[in-house]
Structure 1
Amino acid sequence: MMRRRRTLLAAVLAVTTVAGCGSGGSGSDTSVPAVTVATSPASSVATGSPDLDAAEVMAEGLDVPWGLAFLPGGDALITERDSGQVLRLAAGSGQARPVFQVPGVAAVGEGGLLGVAVSPDFARDNLVYVYFTAEQDNRIGRFRLDGGDFEVVFDGIANASYHNGGRIAFGPDGLLYVGTGDAGNTASSQDPASPNGKILRLTVDGDPAPGNPTSGSPVYSLGHRNVQGLAWDAAGRLFATEFGQNDLDEVNLIEAGRNYGWPEVEGRGGTGGGRFTDPLVTWQVRDASPSGMAIAGNTAYVAALRGERLWTLPLDGPGVGEPVARLQQYGRLRTAQVAPDGALWVTTSNTDGRGDVRDGDDRILRFAAR
């Protein structure tokens, strides 16, 4: 495993309007294709939910939007996978403008500029973190939104044209969590020395976080195929979405040091002999390809790519409730994120080469909290 830090000069772009606002459709489909649900511990979660029947188009005409994160004031930062640009969408403006060009992005296949996260101490340090595919590997870098150099804080995550992972998020503990993929080398997911096929936990400077299962290692959990979503509930529990191979996609409850089975197990059970942790929920891959995940109130919201829907997953009982399919009118959905005002934002991903492009794609949708 390799970690290094270096500084690269990157220019902050001039203000350019790349999207406009509009009005979105409403409606839902509550049909539930076959899913498998396992129980989980009870949780204590705040009330409140977004109105999924009232969509507002915040921006449109975007080029493969991938990551989405919010600044303290409510403005959104959006990454475009293929262009390597970070866009800023001012709350209520309907205009997404480039504010930073990430240097060294190699957009090939599923790789490119992927996840984005805002520093938990943004008011003081003005730092924004990104996960991106470079020529040699996948990396995590950071920059000051008010200008300055670009710094790589973690690298050496193997890349490929697929299974690059890419979701990053700061947890309630102020540490940076990173979802990676196996980059086509399935054995790496079970290799504790590899950062691939893992969830990593890092300090703000890219070092292995204190208290990780193995001292000096960035690995928080292992046995993953391609982690695409990270979200915490009000009780501080971490959930993650994961692409399956031919059979089952997953939502997992992530606990430190646990092994989630890939490539020995896809879905539940198998030949693990008790060594592996079962997922909370599985879907047939045709119904999901779960990417971004957000939790609002007592419900998890999972954006599905191949399934072209938003899965809602109740978390308010002693176990996980039955998932329900919503928002099946927008095509491929990539990211779901809760804004500071409690609204749920969802991004489409129809321009990524695998979807049917609709007028206005790709779009950022907002669903106000009720």
Structure 2
Amino acid sequence: MWCSWGVVDERAAVVQRRLRSVVLVAVSLVVGAGCSAGGGGVGAAGGRPEASVGAGSPRPSVSGVVAPAKGAVRVTGTLAGGLKSPWGVAVLPGGDLLVGERDSGRIVRVAAHGGKVTELGSVPGVEPGSEGGLLGLAVPASFGTDHQVYAYFTTASDNRIARMIYDERREPGNQLGAPNTVFKGIPRGRIHNGGRLAFGPDRMLYASTGDTGDKAPAQDKGSTAGKILRMTPDGEPAHGNPEADSVVYDYGHRNVEGLAWDGGTRLWASEFGENAWDELNLIEPGRNYGWPQVEGKRKGGSVPAGYADPVVVWKPADASPSGLAYARGSLWMASLRGERLWRIPLNGTRPVAAPQAFLTGAYGRLRTVVAAGDGALWLVTSNTDGRGTPRKGDDRILRLEVS
């Protein structure tokens, strides 16, 4: 969706100049171990994949907000390191993490205390390549009794969702049962496979899908590409979906890789734009989020009405967002090309201040952020994914104290 910076009213122009100035100050507030004021990341041209080229100064757009956010982030340590292309993360009862490696198809368990890494096994049928492979992980509220682990992954023919029984009594490396496919046929591509998987407060399973680099399916409600899907744990259309016989919850997305619910159980999604604007969207059932007709915020009457505007937009150089989490009254968005963690403080459905950037350039590309349950965050780097510059110890899981 297109942005609204081009206002000709003189007073509005003054406000916008002040906003840009304030945001520049906000993104310079980098707090935490090894923080720097630098930004940017390793890009790849062509098709605007996860880290593609896009110029622009830090200029997130928040309508009516002129004050920067206030808060702090402190990195209290590295929980685990040496992970290869980590992507999906699921929190187990008790706080331990399940982490999936995109390219190897391996799932490991990381102890929340001490960081011990135990291999569960690999998901059979994973076909890695570019942005495909083992992507999102999720566990249901019933995990304590059914021990089911859900995975979203790319195969040779499609993207699909399967569940496996995790049996801790078996030997490490052989603790995953055979996958039982609950939903298949999601279009796959070299880029834009979406892949975030999460159980909502309603205990339904949500999955984000990408447009696979082919724009048209995002507007086709008969396709599962470029959508957010909502289904029962068995993969059936969930009661209350816009269409009773469809898992499609909304449409018009390019590539959503972040899903999170706020304190009011409202669903938010972070989305890759193309060359103009990345987006944070408030998700409502049946809404059309505009891609490919609109990128960023709508501009006057230049496009047809009926598209949902994003709540916040960023230039791709400052974001290229992946994971999304909610903690302490704010959304937290991990950025790949932007190499920073964004905080968006909320009051209901509205930001109450301009987004604030942390850890800019300090740890490279940031893939996934997860609420730790005590107001803290787990933050997963993504420097071994083929587009980053690995550092000693990468990839790693960091623990963050936030306020």
Same fold by TM (over 0.5)? Answer: yes
Q: What residue number does 2:350 align with?
A: 319
Q: Distance in 2 between matches of 1:39 and 1:121?
A: 42
Q: Name the one with the larger strand percent.
A: 1
Identity of aligned residues (%): 53
Q: Distance in 2 between matches of 1:362 and 1:350?
A: 6
Q: Distance in 2 between matches of 1:25 and 1:143?
A: 38
Q: What residue number does 1:235 align with?
A: 264
Match of 1:95 among 99, 106, 116: 116
Letter in 2 for 1:347: V
For structure 2, the residue ranges without an aligned partner over 5 or more in a row are: 1-31, 40-56, 168-175
Query: 1:241 touches 1:252 (CA, 8 Å); kept in 2?
Result: yes
Instruction: Report the alpha carbon displacement of residue 263 of structure 1 after superposing the two structures with TM.
Output: 0.3
Query: 1:109 touches 1:162 (CA, 8 Å); kept in 2?
Result: yes
Tell me the SS of whatever aligns to 2:350: coil
Match of 2:225 among 179, 191, 196: 196
1:1-370 superposed matches below 5 A:
25-27=33-35, 29=37, 33-38=58-63, 52-146=73-167, 147-270=176-299, 271-316=302-347, 319-320=350-351, 321-328=353-360, 329-368=362-401
Q: Distance in 2 between matches of 1:263 and 1:123?
A: 42
Letter in 2 for 1:77: L
Letter in 1 for 2:195: G
Q: What residue number does 2:29 align with?
A: none
Q: What residue number does 2:14 align with?
A: none
Instruction: Report the alpha carbon displacement of residue 54 of structure 1 after superposing the two structures with TM.
Output: 2.9
Instruction: Report the alpha carbon displacement of residue 257 of structure 1 after superposing the two structures with TM.
Output: 0.5
Q: Distance in 2 between matches of 1:259 and 1:120?
A: 30
Cα RMSD of the aligned pairs, angstroms, is 2.0
Instruction: Report the alpha carbon displacement of residue 355 of structure 1 after superposing the two structures with TM.
Output: 1.0
Instruction: Report the alpha carbon displacement of residue 275 of structure 1 after superposing the two structures with TM.
Output: 1.2
1:62-89 per-residue CA deviation (whole Å, 9 max, x = no partner) reads 1000011100111100010001011100
Tell me the SS of whatever aligns to 1:123: helix
- TM-score normalised to the size of structure 2? 0.81
Instruction: Report the alpha carbon displacement of residue 30 of structure 1 after superposing the two structures with TM.
Output: 11
- TM-score normalised to the size of structure 1? 0.88
Query: 1:26 touches 1:53 (CA, 8 Å); kept in 2?
Result: no
Q: What residue number does 2:53 align with?
A: none
Q: Distance in 2 between matches of 1:28 and 1:313?
A: 20
